[in-house]
Structure 1
């Protein structure tokens, strides 16, 4: 018998959700190769991530859009990249104090993303985060399907960077093509640029 995954209810995130979304992102990305590289001191990583992701959530709410599972178990932050941004827009705003000791890594990460970002109009999946207890249960996939349906209707492609092999395989299953990875500096881990053309509807 095939097990059917439960439906995932999704709504648009608002400024009232900032604290919840920030905590969700920090928890979901707290471990892994990029986390170890970005904030090598695990004792300081959570505070740095909470400060950094609050800034990223506020940025997405201002100039992009946020999709949140109604049970607050997962979130997707998208940016509209229908024209090349000014160079300053590719770089993070002034880093919060908790991030300052690791400013060189945050700056290098932003520069690497900017150097490999396509200039063709698209929507950019900056972050897809699922709470650790809900991972591998189809919640992230539901958020992808939700946005892909809208992109397909509008004929708009999507782009992202996969941070590990498991994520890359998820995105491959959802119609993305993977380019060769690029590596972060300072002996950093690989990231895979991935592109999805819209499907005919």
Structure 2
């Protein structure tokens, strides 16, 4: 009998793990390379910046993890306006200090517009290009460190 992957709501203690999971998924992507060209600090910067948004989602959305911690989904509820993360500019400067990423992330935040619909979500998993993705894997592309947005 196949094992069933269970999904659970993330707890406050999971926020750092979720940020690291998403940073691992995004690290080799063209998006991450564009945001942070230097591969040395890329994972740390991604983890720190994503940590800000994961914490924000704990208050203004939902975060779910598979029971094996291999995949996560992060969603923001769009029933009303969502304020920016607390002390975002200061925290962003700390997370992406002395890199071009600070201004890139800042522009991305300030120029965003609210999408239509009640929820915006991101789904991420650690499945790489050669991984055998189980049939119960979360609905995202299993290509190089899968990441998708809806």
Distance in 2, Cα, partners of 1:45 & 1:130: 18
Alignment CA distance shift 1:90-1:7 (3 Å): same
Alignment CA distance shift 1:44-1:11 (3 Å): same
TM-score (norm 2): 0.76
Say whether the 8 Å CA contact 1:51–1:96 is kept in structure 2.
no
> Over aligned residues, Cα RMSD in angstroms?
3.2
Q: Deviations over 1:17-42 (max 9, x none)?
A: 12221211111111111101111111
Q: Secondary structure at the match of 1:54?
A: helix
- In the other structure, the counterpart of 2:106 is 107
Matched, 1:71 2:74: no
Distance in 2, Cα, partners of 1:57 & 1:92: 14
- In the other structure, the counterpart of 2:88 is 93
1:6 CA drift (Å): 4.9
Q: Deviations over 1:72-99 (max 9, x none)?
A: 000000000013x26x539981205231
Q: Deviations over 1:25-71 (max 9, x none)?
A: 11111111110111111111011011111111111111111111011
Q: Deviations over 1:151-170 (max 9, x none)?
A: xxxxxxxxxxx9x9xx79xx
Query: For the pair shown, which has the larger CA radius of gyration, 1 or 2?
Result: 1
Select which of 8, 13, 24 maps to 1:11. Answer: 8
Say whether the 8 Å CA contact 2:7–2:66 is kept in structure 1.
yes
Q: Secondary structure at the match of 2:119?
A: strand
Q: Deviations over 1:171-196 (max 9, x none)?
A: 8xxxxxxxxxxxxxxxxxxxxx85xx
Unaligned runs of 5+ in 1: 145-161, 172-192, 195-201
TM-score (norm 1): 0.59
Q: Secondary structure at the match of 1:36?
A: helix
Relative contact order: is structure 1 or structure 2 higher (C-alpha 8 Å, sep ≥ 6)?
2
Name the structure with the higher helix share.
Answer: 1
Unaligned runs of 5+ in 2: none
- In the other structure, the counterpart of 1:34 is 31
Say whether the 8 Å CA contact 2:61–2:76 is kept in structure 1.
yes
